[in-house]
Amino acid sequence: MKKVELINISKSYDKTTEVISDITVTINPGEFFVLVGPSGCGKSTMLRMIAGLEDITGGVLKIGDKEANLLPPSKRDISMVFQNYALYPHLSVEENIVFGLHVKKVSKDERKKRCTEVADMLGLSELLKRKPRELSGGQRQRVALARAIVNQAPICLMDEPLSNLDAKLRAHMRSEIRQIQRKLGITMIYVTHDQVEAMTMGDRIMILHNGKIQQIGEPIEIYNQPANPFVATFIGSPPMNLARGTVHKEKREISFGDHVTIKVPEKDTHLLTSEQIIVGIRPEHLKPAVKEATNMNHIFAEVKNVEVLGNETILAFALEDKGWLAKWNGQWKVQLNQVIRIAVDYDSICLFDGETHELLKSPSNIENYVIDREVIIE
């Protein structure tokens, strides 16, 4: 196992505009580290710099304890899985898997042994004589993964390897890749634009936007304590609802939307430092109002769309000309254009500074919060 360190890494193609700016992070040995962000944020460029496929404009890259800025890809002790599989169509599955070992002049017996072990691990034993055109998308992806694993490199880079698969197969392959990484104990750096993959696979995730780090941390930490509105809306499905609010210090209140007012407890008055604030609340924290909820504020919402998914219902409504969503457990019979009352609990909202966009307050009342709970084993 090896660690990877990026120290003030930057990348520019024209020497004026930086596509990657001042990236500093340490990826620990044996860690599953996910780079996530929208298209064009620089995550694939960063992976290619680690692999040696792109030059580094500024900063220092270390692999293990060795500076790797000028090392050729073959000397970096890494393997890589590409988005488009990159299999040789004229070679069999077995020949594709061991192709890199030929280049390294590994003995024939050792190649056969490694190929058999990896094929058995990934369920490819019956497919070794087939050509790539005879395989499904998921099988081709496993062949590409096998080719990376068979090299026994301590670091594996993956560039959106599941983006070409259907939803069901993606869910299966997410679990499969994560189990293989744990079993082999390798350091894995995984690039994706899918926040579900990031949340379910990563030990830690780094969120990028416009070539800059937005936040680094464990998935549940980022979900519960997003650093800014961009992270809040990028991580979570459906995304967090946001609205610009006005602070009324003398009344200890925040108003937003169509006459929605939230009372701020005295202990949190120090958060009200400016007149403008951004209020965020996740769809699952918007609850149907009940008579007993006298301590909560209410939104009167005209329902614009209803999605009943079996185990949950997602309701769409407008607030200040912005689309908001509420996610309720179970199956709710709600009609289009029906006006419903939704409860907003102060303890469930996020507050961001209206100017700097920094997080001022994260939710303190999160339903089914399990971080400190232990599973009971009979």
User: Which amino acid does the sequence have at 350?
Assistant: C
pLDDT score at 375: 47
Class of domain 238-361: mainly beta
Predicted TM-score (pTM) of this structure? 0.88
Q: Under DSSP, is residue 261 helix (H, G, I), strand (E, B) or coil? A: strand
Phi and psi (nearest 5°) for 2? -135, 150
Q: pLDDT digit string (tens) for 244-278?
A: 998 888 888 888 877 788 888 888 888 888 888 99
197 burial class (0-12, 13-18, 19+ CB within 10 angstroms)?
Answer: buried
DSSP 130-148: S-GGGS-HHHHHHHHHHHH
Question: What does the buried/exposed string (b/e) look like for 91-111 if buried means 16 or more CB atoms within 10 Å of the residue's CB?
Answer: ebbbbbbbebbeeeebeeeeb
What percentage of the chain reaches a pLDDT higher than 90? 51
CA distances from 245 to 67, 230, 254, 277 (A): 48, 17, 6, 5
CATH number of 4-224: 3.40.50.300
Q: Which two tokens stand for residue 357?
A: 């966009």
SS (H, E, C) 286-323: CEECCCCCCCCEEEEEEEEEEEECCCEEEEEEEECCEE
pLDDT tier, 74 (very low <50, low <70, confident <90, very high otherwise): confident
Residues 340 and 288: beta-carbon distance below 8 Å: yes
Q: For the chain, what are the domain ranges?
A: 4-224, 238-361
CB 4 within 8 A of CB 155: yes
Residue 281, Cα to own-chain centre: how many angstroms?
Answer: 19
- Exposure class string for 146-168: b at 16+ Cβ within 10 A, else e: bbbbbbebbbbbbbbbbeebeee
The whole-number average pLDDT for the span 297-312 is: 89
Compute the average pLDDT of residues 123-149. Answer: 89
The pLDDT value given to residue 371? 47
C-alpha torsion sign, points 178, 180, 184, 188: negative
Q: Is the dihedral of CA 224, 229, 231, 235 positive or negative?
A: positive
Give 51's pLDDT tier (boundaries 50, 70, 90): very high
CA–CA separation, 365 and 290 (whole Å): 18
